[in-house]
Structure formats: C-alpha cells, structure tokens
Amino acid sequence: MVSFDSVLCPLVGLILGMSVSTSTMAVGDSGGSRIGKCKYQFNDNNTVIDLNPLASHDGTNWKFNVSGPKGSFRYLYSPCWPMDHLKSEENACGDAVACQEEIQAVLYYNLGDFPKEKFNMDGASVVLSYSGETGGTNRTSQITLVCDKTSAEPTFTYVEETGTTPYITYKFTLRAKECCPVSIGGLSFGSILCIIFVVVLVVYLVAGVLINKFARGATGAELIPNRAFWADLPSLIKEGFQFTGAKISGCFSRDSQYDQI
C-alpha cells in the first residue's frame, strides 16, 4: 500500500516525522497508549501493535513458560487472557497474565494483573509492563517487544531480575511478528501539517491570481501573487547567508570590517 506521505509530501513528511519521533524517544516517555484489549498505538504515527493473535483463549494453559536462572522458578505469560482456572483455587495469579511459579512448592506470585498494563518506549525499544502484588511484594514484569517479521513461532525469554522486596522487577523479551507495528491507515501528524501547507499554498496562489486579475487588471506573468517578492527571494537568501558568513568569520579574524568600525 502506498501511503499519503510517500506520494505527495515525502520531504515534509520525513522531516516532520523525524523531528516528532526523535522527541518521543526519551527513556520513560509514554510513547504510546493502550487503545483496546491487547492493542497499543504509538503517539507519533498511526501504527499499532496488536498482540491478540498471541492470546490463549482457554484460560488454562499459559501461552509461554520459561525457566529462570534459579532452577526452582519458572515464568508464565499469556498476553490478553487471565488464567481463569487459577482463580477458583484462590491463586495469586488468578487475575494475572504474568506469573512466577515456584515449581517444587507449587507457589504462585503475581507478576501482572490484567488489563492494567502500560505501553512505553525505552529508547527505541517498546516495553509492555504489568504489575501485581503477592504477600505485600509488588512485582513488575517488563516485556520488551521485539519485532521479527521472519519468526514463525513467537519466543519468550527471561532476561533478568532487579530490585528487592517489596519491589521486584522481572525483565523478559517477546520476539514475534505480532510485535511489529502495523499501520492502521489514517493520517499522521506530519501528513496533516503537509495537507495544511498544500491547502494554504493553493488558496494563496488562486486568491492571489484572482486578486491580481480582477482587482488590479493584471495579465500574463503579472498574475503571479507577490511576484516582486518571490523574484527577489533567491538574492535575499543569498545575502542572508553572506551576512551570516561574514559575522561568523568576523568572530575569528581580527581585521574584519566590523572591528574596523
């Protein structure tokens, strides 16, 4: 699909898009928001990440499970669908989509209630975070979403544990094609500015020509609005650069004309 940006205003779209996205790259910036169940939209463009295809709808099997470095723990994650079956057992992970299990003792620790997840940028990475509380300890799971268009099967990996009770954070990576941002059409901020620019330009040209023709009785090249100004513009720009250049070199050389005055 060919987007508006690539057809009409590649340059304007690119420059505006770049300036906007650079400004949203700061660590901790929200960068996006949850727009529906397991659906997240970026602030600066019309793309979403939709994890719904990764949901396991039976509520009894965790979609992902991975062992931690301490052999007795494993980490369970099921995007979009809490593990209903655990609820009846008054299990800490009853409303959770992320859970830590102590295998031998069969103890569960909630790593993330649903649907209270946060969708954030950490540098250029997209991070989904959940939190839950078990036994007075607040456990947060941070899942970095890695877009991999070529992966047939999604992979969930354990990265590290940081912090101590009562605040512990567990970091994971989810690599999948579902983690890739998908365009939902519509217009980005850059495109809207671009449209405004084009509309203003057209109105200016049409109104200018009409005014010159009917109010001033102009013909031919005289119809161009503010013709004298536009004709002079290149030399005005050139003079501007020359002036700036002279100023800058004046800062470095002692015998510039400004020092002599």
Ligand X SMILES: *[C@@H]1O[C@H](CO)[C@@H](O)[C@H](O)[C@H]1NC(C)=O
Enumerate binding residues for ligand X (CB under 6 A).
21, 24, 42, 44-45, 47, 131-133, 138, 181, 183
Question: Measured in whole angstroms, how far is the alpha carbon of residue 162 from the centre of its chain?
Answer: 25
CB of 124 to ligand X, least distance (A): 7
Decide: 11 and 198 in contact? Cβ < 8 Å.
no
CA-to-CA distance for 34 and 79, rounded, in angstroms? 13
Q: Residue 49's closest CA among 187, 174, 172, 178?
A: 178
Closest distance to ligand X from the beta carbon of 56 (Å): 23
Instruction: For ligand X, give the closer residue by CB, 47 or 256.
Output: 47
Please identify, using beta-carbon distances, which residue of 81 and 130 lies nearer to ligand X. Answer: 130
Instruction: Supply the minimum distance, in Å, between the C-beta of residue 136 and ligand X.
Output: 10
User: Whole-number minimum distance, CB 133 to ligand X, in Å?
Assistant: 4
State which residue, 1 or 152, has the beta carbon closest to ligand X.
1
At position 166, the amino acid (one-letter code) is P
Structure tokens belonging to residue 103? 């295998």
Q: To the nearest whole angstrom, how small is the minimum distance from the Cβ of residue 27 to ligand X? A: 13
Whichever of 82 and 132 has its CB closer to ligand X, that residue is 132
If the CB atoms of residues 21 and 52 are measured against ligand X, the closer one turns out to be 21
Nearer to ligand X, 79 or 112 (CB): 112
CA distance 163 to 183: 37
Strand-pairing partners, residue 108, are 101
Cα–Cα–Cα angle for 110, 111, 114, rounded to 5 degrees: 90
Q: In angstroms, what CA-CA distances link 163 with 74, 157, 171?
A: 18, 19, 11
Q: Using CA atoms, how far apart are residues 142 and 181, in angstroms rounded to an integer? A: 18
**Minimum separation from the CB atom of position 234 to ligand X (A):** 35
